[in-house]
Amino acid sequence: MLQILQIVARRWLAAAVVTAALAACGGGGASSSTADSSPSVAPLTSPESSPPVTSQSPAPTPSIGQATLSWAAPDQNTDGSALTNLAGYRIYYGTSAAALNQVIDIASVGMTMYVVDNLTTGTYYFSIRAYNAAGVESELSNVVSSTIS
């Protein structure tokens, strides 16, 4: 039976960095000694008359985490015979041990570790199955859980 050997939960805060740069459009206005009789048009708004820009804090972002799963590759079929046609693994996970409704297919027999990322705050449950070249899956491994906070 395939068993998950280790689960490591990691968390990081996805921080959105918002920067605002304000540039003054000062035109130092040149003065002229000659009077100009042409009509002048004032701009609708000018940088000096614009309302001040206020800085707002960005909305908090949810915690995002990851779980690192590792397992031992099986070497026997459930009947005890040698396993010769292992084709990959399927990780089943979800927010309930009774409803592992997310599936990750790993079509590589050499891979015995996988990082499930983009997990929001909460408790997640994981199990894994090996499958052979014909697509026949093993029984689910023991279910393990990880809490992302």
What does the pLDDT look like over 101-117, one tens digit per residue? 999 999 999 999 999 99
How many residues are recorded in the chain?
149
In tens, the pLDDT along 1-10 reads 454 444 444 4
Give me the chain's average pLDDT, please.
73
Residues 6+ apart with CB under 8 A from 55: 20
> Mean pLDDT across the stretch 77-86?
90
User: What is the average pLDDT across 17-29?
Assistant: 28
- Please count the other Cβ atoms lying within 10 Å of the Cβ belonging to residue 140: 14
Answer yes or no: are the C-beta atoms of 140 and 92 closer than 8 Å.
yes
| Residue corresponding to tokens 């000018």 | 46
pLDDT-above-70 percentage for the chain: 58
In the chain, pLDDT over 90 holds for what percent of residues?
Answer: 53
Give the CATH superfamily of 4-14+59-148: Immunoglobulins (2.60.40.10)
pLDDT band for position 11 (cuts 50, 70, 90):
very low
The pLDDT of residue 129 is above 70: yes
**pLDDT exceeds cutoff 60 at 14:** no
Q: pTM of the entire structure?
A: 0.61
CA distance 31 to 81: 97
C-alpha–C-alpha distance, residues 43 and 46, integer Å:
6
